[in-house]
Amino acid sequence: CCGIYSMKPTIGRHMPCEGSTPTAGPDPARMEPISGFMASSPKTLEYAWRTYYNLEGRDNACRLDPLIAPVKFSEEKLQKKVRVGVFFSEGLYEPVPGVKRAVEEAVQILTNNGYEAVHFQPPNMQEVLRLFNGIICADMSYLDYFMKYDIYSSAMRGVEMTKTLMNLPGIVRKWMVNPILRCLSNIP
């Protein structure tokens, strides 16, 4: 669309950004700022990464920073046919026709350009949400500690409600709260 190609590298693969703005507070998700090359074509971008990862001697960034993984550019992985995972519904909601058509068109474009589109069934989203809430709300005192410094906004009402529900005994959630939530939403 704008003629710029880029690829965000994995954290720990090359030198960190100098002068980048640090994230505020704890960073459990490892959403750290990291720089990557920008180029006018995919070939130029590939050339830049190939050159960077194959540097030898004193130019190699691994020599300067022990946290950088010493990984070479993989020519054999570049020759493999790229597979792209495709699914239409996560199991909670069916896509509207326009979204489904857009995914089908994207799959067609990818297959016409030599990619392999693999249809797969995503994981059970109810179980994913249950595990996610269990992980996020496992230590309420830790969550309360960081939330007390935040200015209360209406966007935090969902978190506050989740905290309250997660503090209820499991039997109460299973037999009282979950049936009510099923009635109020279309989540099975």
Report yes or no: 183 and 157 within 8 Å, Cβ to Cβ. no
Between 56 and 48, residue with greater pLDDT:
48
**What pLDDT, on the 0 to 100 scale, is given for residue 108?**
93
List pLDDT tens digits, range 116-175: 999 999 998 888 878 887 777 676 666 667 666 666 666 667 777 777 777 788 888 888
Neighbours of 13 (CB within 10 A): 17
**Crossing angle (nearest 10°) for helices 157-166 and 125-136:** 90
> Of residues 188 and 79, which shows the higher confidence score?
79
Is pLDDT above 60 for 99? Answer: yes
Q: Average pLDDT for residues 94-112, to the nearest whole number?
A: 92
Read off the pLDDT of residues 3-20 as tens digits, 9 standing for 90 and up. 788 877 776 666 555 555
pLDDT of residue 133: 73
Per-residue pLDDT of 54-79, as tens digits, reads 777 777 767 766 777 777 777 777 77
Beta-sheet strands, E only, within 25-166:
38-39, 83-86, 116-119
pLDDT at residue 34 tops 90:
no
pLDDT band at 96 (very low <50, low <70, confident <90, very high): very high
Report field, pTM of the whole predicted structure over 0.85? no
Task: Report residue 135 CA to chain centroid gap.
Answer: 17
Burial class of residue 14 in the structure, from the number of CB atoms within 10 Å of its CB (0-12 exposed, 13-18 middle, 19+ buried): buried
